[in-house]
Structure 1
């Protein structure tokens, strides 16, 4: 069972991925992600700042 935070992180990634696939990493702004997810900037940074770096 996923926690609420894990579900939110998954939602952000699943919602933003098609935008990145379409526009490329340099073609997407935080505003694009905010618009698609309907979340706040703080929410997105809070959930994604803990992602492992590759």
Structure 2
């Protein structure tokens, strides 16, 4: 599996192997989505009310 790397304009540490692992899990519908954890992360990031707009 080849992972595309995109520059964010600065050096940001990214675990490309982990990203590829998560992408594969999403593609195969085996990535665990836990709605309460997603909601908590949205609230903690200050994005509540801004997501989807």
With the length of structure 2 as denominator, give the TM-score of the two structures: 0.28
The structure number with the bigger radius of gyration is 2
More helix by share: 1
